[in-house]
Amino acid sequence: MLNIDVLTEMNPWWRTETVPQQLAPFKQRKLFGTLQEYLPLRMMVAIVGLRRTGKSTLLYQLIQKLLQEKVNPDHIFYFSFDERVEEVRDLLNMYQQQFLKKDLADEKIYLFFDEIQKLPDWQNKLKIYYDRYPHLKIFLSGSASLNLLLDSKESLAGRVFYCNLEVLSFEEFLELRGRDLQQIQKNPRRWISEIKTELNDYLIKPFPEIVLFENHLAKKYIQESIIEKAIFRDLQSLFEIKDVEIIEKLLSIISANPGLIINLDDLSKDLGRSRQMLSNYLYYLEMCLIIKGVRNFKGSEKASSRKLKKYYPVHPSISLALASPEAGKVMETMVQFASRAEYYWREGNKEVDFIVKRNNHILPMESKYSPEVRIKEVKGLLKFMEKFNCPEGWVITEDFESEKKMEHAVIHFIPLWKWILSSEEDRAVSAHQNN
């Protein structure tokens, strides 16, 4: 039976008319601006992402925004489903009778539901309230992938916006570290030493709570607060996991070898488990946002191979918390994360690390952790550009910067430290915009 005191503790603004600053700090993630735009709209809003990326903080910051706009504190209800509740109906009945003292249909009411994936059949239960009470504004958060939550798209079609909250971008990290981002981006060459130092820290500390931690404490935090809880709580609550040891083994293999092309038949023999089990467990790790699978590009979405995927930790920090991968592989993982690449390309003995598709444009990218890169080292890139008629390609390097023009194409060589400072739009459209 839910205790009334629990609801009072979860909603301190009912008494103080403000959100405690430790719950709603002044610094805001970039996604906050988008969420503000959704406030006046009727549709539900779902924030999904890995543990400890700041989903709950965003909800509290939105609540603080409403309070500043003089919304009645009693009309704002927050609940985390870390507290076990089976029925939304019972929860909202208690809220109406004990605190709101009026019907939900009478006035504009804001509902904030945290960790919604822990509520059984949440999609259908919320659909009833959404359809019945047009004055309700519902915000949700969940520690699971968009793909998993989008299983609800049929029942909630036209009723919800989905927003993905990733770990901190490098720009957000710099701002939380107290750096003047505008000054750095204005002339990055004047700040090379500082950028490289911060980038090395960012590879280990991309979560809001740990940007100022010592490295060993940051790794411990990621192991215990993110990886272990994602495996032992999120995965086991969402899926039928029979062999946790194999889940851990798969993550260990990928962390030590980012970009590994996994052949399920071979892996099945090595680990002594069925091919189907391993396929399922890799899928589960993707759905809980711990790893990212990258498919072999064949020229179209339908043709692109779902077999022999390359797998990466979702961010280099996962690898570095569990293993000691080569520096070049850490950099490659960073390029995958920052580029949002969904594909690689492999044909015969030719390969390209990443293929980025944006707005019908195809951009091949190579990650080369080397102070200098020669054209003969990117033969796979040249082959791909010729085959798919790509006018430009990128090579992300350690420090080397150049531009090689050919008859019908150009290759941009740009250091990681400089590329990572550009906007996501620039990273996916044209490297030379930052030269």
Q: Which fold has domain 4-164?
A: Rossmann fold (3.40.50)
Which residues are 413's β-sheet partners?
A: 395, 402
305-313 and 160-164 beta bridge pairing: unpaired
Positive or negative: CA dihedral 248, 260, 149, 276: negative
Q: Is the pLDDT of residue 158 over 90?
A: no
350-358 and 343-347 beta bridge pairing: antiparallel
Listed in sequence order, the residues at least 6 apart from 201 whose beta carbon sits closer than 8 Å to its beta carbon are 173, 177, 211, 215
State the average pLDDT for the chain: 91
Burial class (CB in 10 A: 0-12, 13-18, 19+), 161: middle
Query: What does the buried/exposed string (b/e) look like for 129-158 if buried means 16 or more CB atoms within 10 Å of the residue's CB?
Result: bbeebeebbbbbbbbbbeebbeebeeebee
pLDDT tens string 234-287 = 888 778 888 999 999 999 999 999 999 999 999 999 999 999 999 999 999 998
Residue 115, by phi and psi: left (phi above 0), alpha (psi -120 to 50) or beta? Answer: left
Domain boundaries, the chain: 4-164, 242-434
Q: Give the whole-number percent of the chain exceeding pLDDT 70.
A: 93
Q: Is the pLDDT of residue 435 over 90?
A: no
Query: What does the buried/exposed string (b/e) look like for 49-74 if buried means 16 or more CB atoms within 10 Å of the residue's CB?
Result: bbbbbbbbbbbbbbbbbbbeeebebb
Name the band, by pLDDT with cuts 50, 70 and 90, for residue 430: very low
Give residue 288's pLDDT.
86
Give residue 272's pLDDT.
96
pLDDT tens string 22-42 = 999 999 999 999 999 999 999
Mean pLDDT to the nearest integer, 128-132:
94
- Residue 343 near residue 294, CB atoms below 8 Å: yes
Low-confidence winner among 84-98, 295-309, 330-344 (lowest mean pLDDT): 295-309
Name the band, by pLDDT with cuts 50, 70 and 90, for residue 1: low
Which residues are 345's β-sheet partners?
A: 352
Give residue 198's pLDDT.
98
Give residue 2's pLDDT.
77
Low-confidence winner among 49-63, 64-78, 302-316, 377-391 (lowest mean pLDDT): 302-316
Give residue 433's pLDDT.
39
Task: Return the higher-pLDDT residue of 307 and 290.
Answer: 290
Q: Give the span between the Cα atoms of 148 and 150, in whole angstroms.
A: 5
Q: Give the span between the Cα atoms of 45 and 64, in whole angstroms.
A: 17
Q: Is the pLDDT of residue 150 over 70?
A: no
Mean pLDDT to the nearest integer, 155-178:
90
Give residue 426's pLDDT.
60
> Closest Cα to residue 205, out of 192, 194, 214?
214
Taken as a whole, the chain contains a residue count of 435
Sheet holding 392-397, edge to edge: 260-261, 305-313, 291-296, 343-347, 350-358, 361-368, 392-397, 410-415, 402-405
> Closest Cα to residue 166, out of 81, 290, 44, 260?
290
